[in-house]
Amino acid sequence: MSSIPNLLSLRGSARGGRGGRHRGRGGTSSTSGPGHDATIQGTDTDAAVSRLSAVDVGFLNDPFAQFFVQGGPGAPVRRLPIINRGTYTRTTALDILIDSFIFGSDGLSSASSERQIISLGAGTDTRSLRLFSEAKAKGVTYHEIDFPVICTRKLNTVKATPLLMRALPSPSVGDKGSWQAKTDDGNQYWCHGIDLRELAHADLSAMDGLRTDIPTLLISECCLCYLETSEAKDVIKWFTDKIVDLGIIIYEPTDPDDSFGQVMISNLGSRGIVMPTLASYRNPSQQEARLKEAGFESVRKLTVKDIWTTWIPEEEKERVNSLEGLDEVEEWDLLASHYIIAWGWRGQGFKAWDRR
Ligand SMILES: C[S@@+](CC[C@H](N)C(=O)[O-])C[C@H]1O[C@@H](n2cnc3c(N)ncnc32)[C@H](O)[C@@H]1O
């Protein structure tokens, strides 16, 4: 079992290879201190490389991913097939939920009413770029929050890359260290260099451009799991206290108690990474209870394995399989059942989610 991979720590070999296992670097088990913060910031590099690998293999269509990986376009990256499938499945699941929030359940209605997205620990995520470059997104306010160093790096990458500048034109830096860009379609992008553990104790003015009067979706794609459970709760509460029409999507590992889960924790631990919320919300039902307790009236949850099985249409599964098949389906089943997407909502802005 010691060779069991996990979606965050496993690295494949250079482009085209099947790859060796990542070996741990060792480190602290605490969730505070500059060393720990740097380690956690490094997880964004993993996410960016995994995204580009899934693009390279043809699973995802994302012209922006290449610019956020060191070495730039053409950088050699290739994750193992189960990792590519995991990245594809969770990205697609979030896209489905986000698109139905913005465009309605039929995916056709142009967003006549305004919508807001707040991505916690967004890192070098490219979703805002993809969304803003689609002609149909209008009146969307998209906030990303991450450590200042990550936000500044993202600004520098955007400024240095004409394709990114087209999606986020004329970025300007505000006095609180956030930067923003506005599109001709009335979309607004904000990137806030804020430690989420501090945001929980700040007032509303900490987030330039935050609207509290429009339907808003909070996203934590593998971010809140790095905070202490009480800190993660405080972050969610900061938003639930201010915004009535609110939804949330959380993607993180689950089920630490079986032997696969134990290896997953040990893999992360060897890299100096702890995930306190994994200890607090140990299974999908506890994730569901977490969101109910936070004040979301409707809550759903699915593992990545369930999403692959039930949300990805058969012809799309065939396309993905034809690009890169799996040698070991059991290995995929095990891995994908240890990652969960939980989502919850309250208010009129999330009617499309009632049908999911
Ligand atoms: C695994 S990466 C995920 C990045 C992105 N959400 C994605 O899925 O591609 C985790 C991100 O959370 C950010 N993060 C973790 N703790 C944070 C905190 N206390 N404040 C701000 N950002 C944080 C990290 O810097 C990192 O960019």
Q: Report CA-CA distances (Å) from 58 to 20, 81, 127.
A: 22, 12, 17
Q: Tell me what pLDDT residue 105 has.
A: 67
Q: Tell me what pLDDT residue 16 has.
A: 36
Model confidence at 120: pLDDT above 70: yes
Interval between CA 44 and ligand 1 midpoint (Å): 6
Interval between CA 194 and ligand 1 midpoint (Å): 11
Number of the ligand 1 atom closest to the C-alpha atom of 251? 8
37: nearest Cα among 348, 273, 316, 275: 273
Q: Tell me what pLDDT residue 17 has.
A: 33
* Degrees, nearest 5: CA angle 341-242-181: 75
Question: pLDDT tens across 314-333, in order?
Answer: 999 999 999 999 988 999 99
Q: Which of 10, 94, 146, 151 to mutate to test the pocket of ligand 1 (most atoms within 8 A of CB)?
A: 146
- How far is 83 from 68, CA to CA, in rounded Å? 19
Q: Is residue 195 part of an annotated ligand binding site? A: yes
Q: Tell me what pLDDT residue 107 has.
A: 56
Query: What confidence tier does 113 reach under pLDDT thresholds 50, 70, 90?
Result: confident
Amino acid residing at 90: R
Q: Which residues' Cβ are closer than 6 Å to ligand 1?
A: 40-41, 43-44, 47, 121-123, 125, 145-147, 150, 195-197, 221-223, 226-227
Q: Is residue 129 part of an annotated ligand binding site? A: no
Interval between CA 1 and ligand 1 midpoint (Å): 28
User: What domains can be seen in the chain, in order of their start residue?
Assistant: 87-355 (3.40.50.150)
Q: Which of 223, 228, 249, 277 to mutate to test the pocket of ligand 1 (most atoms within 8 A of CB)?
A: 223
Q: Is residue 221 part of an annotated ligand binding site? A: yes
Interval between CA 152 and ligand 1 midpoint (Å): 14
Q: Tell me what pLDDT residue 14 has.
A: 36
Residues across the chain: 356
Q: Are the beta carbons of 54 and 84 closer than 8 angstroms?
A: yes
Helix 81-103 to helix 329-336 angle, to the nearest 10 degrees? 50
Model confidence at 8: pLDDT above 50: no
- How far is 323 from 193, CA to CA, in rounded Å? 38
Question: pLDDT tens across 54-79, in order?
Answer: 999 999 999 999 999 987 666 667 89
Over residues 109-126, the mean pLDDT reads 86
Query: What confidence tier does 23 reach under pLDDT thresholds 50, 70, 90?
Result: very low
Q: What is the CA radius of gyration of the chain?
A: 19
Interval between CA 318 and ligand 1 midpoint (Å): 32
Q: Are the beta carbons of 245 and 349 closer than 8 angstroms?
A: yes
Model confidence at 185: pLDDT above 50: yes
Number of the ligand 1 atom closest to the C-alpha atom of 199? 20
Q: Is residue 12 part of an annotated ligand binding site? A: no
Model confidence at 108: pLDDT above 70: no
Model confidence at 276: pLDDT above 60: yes
Interval between CA 51 and ligand 1 midpoint (Å): 15
Q: Tell me what pLDDT residue 355 has.
A: 78
Model confidence at 270: pLDDT above 70: yes
Q: Tell me what pLDDT residue 339 has.
A: 98
Q: Atom 27 (ligand 1): residue with closest C-alpha?
A: 123
Question: pLDDT tens across 279-306, in order?
Answer: 999 999 999 999 999 999 999 999 999 9
Q: What is the mean pLDDT of the chain?
A: 89
Interval between CA 328 and ligand 1 midpoint (Å): 30
Query: What confidence tier does 106 reach under pLDDT thresholds 50, 70, 90?
Result: low
Number of the ligand 1 atom closest to the C-alpha atom of 231? 19
Q: Is residue 196 part of an annotated ligand binding site? A: yes
Interval between CA 315 and ligand 1 midpoint (Å): 33
- The least confident of 24-33, 70-79, 150-159, 205-214 is 24-33
Q: Tell me what pLDDT residue 36 has.
A: 84
Number of the ligand 1 atom closest to the C-alpha atom of 125? 9
Over residues 83-89, the mean pLDDT reads 98
Q: Which of 198, 226, 271, 278 to mutate to test the pocket of ligand 1 (most atoms within 8 A of CB)?
A: 226
